[in-house]
Structure 1
């Protein structure tokens, strides 16, 4: 009996020793050896700390100032906070934010970020997802509120003052956001550029700020098709978006009341609430003037996309994330665009985009479009106004 008891005790001791060795192996590899010197060699503790002393380089690296980054952290920091465990300390909210912003700003890979920040690949991916989701959750209603009647009127004032287009609710456009081919991807994501993409539809005010965005349509969908199925398109069609009632154009009451309308290119349909150019064939002078004035106002949305892509270089890469995460990333980037955009800096960002050839692919045309007589008549009213004494501008004849 004594021998049996000793053998049982010996087996128990050996079992406990094996469990201790296994536990040590697990804890030793819970943080990879290359990442155990994160505080000494990781970019967050070395480079990012130094960038705080150089405002210009901080702006180039994160595409925002240190003060703007701190303000952003104060808003979304609680959403990035996680509890430490017995095995490892939680990543600080500011480091998660730094990783997320650098991913947007550089367009680099998750693997390269993991190496430079001395973090695990899954930690970097989770940080990017957390930052984008937190921005959408916390800042969406504040930065991209649902437009009210007063907001629409302010937008229209801005377009008349800056771009000489009255009764304008904004400039609308769409761009492709290229992605890696998702698993079991279907042909709907394959666009005319022979790449896989998601579509970003946006309505923009006179200062290049996003008013309404929609993300997530398949890449092969046309601009008009995306618009028709969007909340914006359905709301405009149903009259449920608090658009102000028709009013006369400035100084031209004799032309009658004219609806407020958006401006878009030929990818969009002609509607009573959406003006597009005249077809290019056999245009008289008045119609060429209208096309010029509409194009001048519509370029605001192209400028907004240019600034977005100039700031966030991720839009010039094939984003290797799940499509659902891509949609969240695009929404977050648009929110940050509004958070950061400054009319005094817009031209600098546009010049940078032009120098580097940073352009997003436009969505394709809708195809056939049979506008109503009312839509034709409203476009004629705008056209007549732009060639009248009340609505013309001194340089328009030289431009057409």
Structure 2
């Protein structure tokens, strides 16, 4: 799957309080009470709301918005879903079920038992939800579309550790899979840690929002190869991305817009990587410290993604490799929706800090000479040693 573009500039999504995302019955507090009872038995409304956020990893406000987003494509289908007692599932029920499947990491049977339905229904409802999020939610995942928005992003990155004119951080993570021994493509997916995995490459803004993603490639591919196959790479190489205002560092010295990445990526005019080697000069050591502190934004974003949407955190048992990229995309869109909604649940969730445990950074020796000179000047500028 190529990079997906969505998301307008950061904004709080507005909607009327008590938005009815189905019938008046579905949008009422009564539905939440019924769901709470189904999950934890009879509880008070306030405790039910707390339980709701811990179970579905989003606030009630964000849940309502997600229902409104997917309502039309999900309810347009003629297929009806029911609980084991024969009661029909409302839109709210279906969204809740899909969110539980994506956020818990539980098996189909586990989620089915949780809701009182069968595993086939869980699979079908989740896939319908994934398709609906992909159809209606891509505007939440998009490269900045205005000069004002990109200026805000640059300012926030500079406030982290001083890197000027920086527009994003690129990183990758592995989505683990347990494949059948009879799978004819099993060796294709074997990565350098002898795990079967699928790569997710992301470019992140300072608010941990995904601005571009690439997924679907085997884990055996290195970071540089995945990057070079991406739409983002092609646009940047052609000067159609990261082509905004250049920043004057000193008389006769300026630097273009760029993103930063670790040593697994090539050093390019629009992609600045850290210096390699030991016993580096003070200016280069200081640059690497600032560079690393900025890159932490992407590491935290990926850790948050996997901590919240735990279906892609553990080892997926014999996944459909054609559908998995779309599941990953849906999780990335949901990650961004929570940020765009300024959801309090986002801040209250704990982070493990790990998204690719056991994987050591790769090293790419590819370095553009012009980019190397630009990095040197940037390092001198940050240390205050660049001649005026």
- 8 Å CA contact 2:202–2:212 kept in 1: the answer is yes
Q: Does the residue aligned with 1:323 lie in a helix, a strand or coil? A: coil
Pick one of 121, 125, 150 that aligns with 2:119: 121
Q: Does the residue aligned with 1:319 lie in a helix, a strand or coil? A: strand
Query: How far apart are 1:146 and its partner, in Å?
Result: 3.7
Pick one of 257, 265, 268 that aligns with 2:254: 257
Residue of structure 2 equivalent to 1:370: 366
CA 157–288 in structure 1, closer or farther in 2 if over 3 Å, else same: same
Pick one of 362, 383, 388 that aligns with 1:387: 383
Farther off after superposition, 120-129 or 180-189: 180-189
Q: Does 1:297 align with 2:294?
A: yes
Q: Does 1:63 align with 2:60?
A: no
Paired positions, count: 343
Query: How far apart are 1:61 and its partner, in Å?
Result: 0.5
CA 327–387 in structure 1, closer or farther in 2 if over 3 Å, else same: same
Q: Does the residue aligned with 2:58 lie in a helix, a strand or coil? A: coil
CA 361–187 in structure 1, closer or farther in 2 if over 3 Å, else same: farther
C-alpha distance in structure 1 between counterparts of 2:258 and 2:322, whole Å: 32
Query: How far apart are 1:367 and its partner, in Å?
Result: 4.7
CA 305–58 in structure 1, closer or farther in 2 if over 3 Å, else same: same
- 8 Å CA contact 2:191–2:197 kept in 1: the answer is yes
Residue of structure 2 equivalent to 1:283: 280
CA 346–44 in structure 1, closer or farther in 2 if over 3 Å, else same: closer
Select the structure that is richer in helix: 1
Pick one of 312, 327, 330 that aligns with 1:329: 327
TM-score by length of 2: 0.80
Q: Does the residue aligned with 1:152 lie in a helix, a strand or coil? A: helix
Within 5 Å, give how 1:67-216 maps onto structure 2. 67-81=61-75, 82-83=77-78, 91-140=89-138, 142-148=139-145, 150=147, 151-181=149-179, 183-216=183-216
CA 282–125 in structure 1, closer or farther in 2 if over 3 Å, else same: same
CA 381–390 in structure 1, closer or farther in 2 if over 3 Å, else same: closer
C-alpha distance in structure 1 between counterparts of 2:344 and 2:66, whole Å: 21
Residue of structure 1 equivalent to 2:312: 315
Residue of structure 2 equivalent to 1:223: 223
C-alpha distance in structure 2 between counterparts of 1:226 and 1:121, whole Å: 35
CA 255–345 in structure 1, closer or farther in 2 if over 3 Å, else same: farther
Query: How far apart are 1:50 and its partner, in Å?
Result: 6.0
Query: How far apart are 1:71 and its partner, in Å?
Result: 1.3
Residue of structure 1 equivalent to 2:39: 47
Query: How far apart are 1:119 and its partner, in Å?
Result: 1.8
Which sections of structure 2, spanning at least 5 residues, go unmatched?
1-30
Query: How far apart are 1:77 and its partner, in Å?
Result: 1.6
Q: Does the residue aligned with 1:248 lie in a helix, a strand or coil? A: strand
CA 264–363 in structure 1, closer or farther in 2 if over 3 Å, else same: farther
Query: How far apart are 1:194 and its partner, in Å?
Result: 1.8
Q: Which has the larger radius of gyration?
A: 1
Within 5 Å, give how 1:234-253 maps onto structure 2. 234-241=234-241, 243-249=243-249, 253=250
Query: How far apart are 1:358 and its partner, in Å?
Result: 4.9
C-alpha distance in structure 2 between counterparts of 1:50 and 1:105, whole Å: 23
Query: How far apart are 1:101 and its partner, in Å?
Result: 0.5
Residue of structure 2 equivalent to 1:273: 270
- 8 Å CA contact 1:159–1:168 kept in 2: the answer is yes
- 8 Å CA contact 1:144–1:211 kept in 2: the answer is yes
Q: Per-residue CA shift, 1:113-159, capped at 9, x if unaligned?
A: 1222222222110111111111111011x201243351333321221
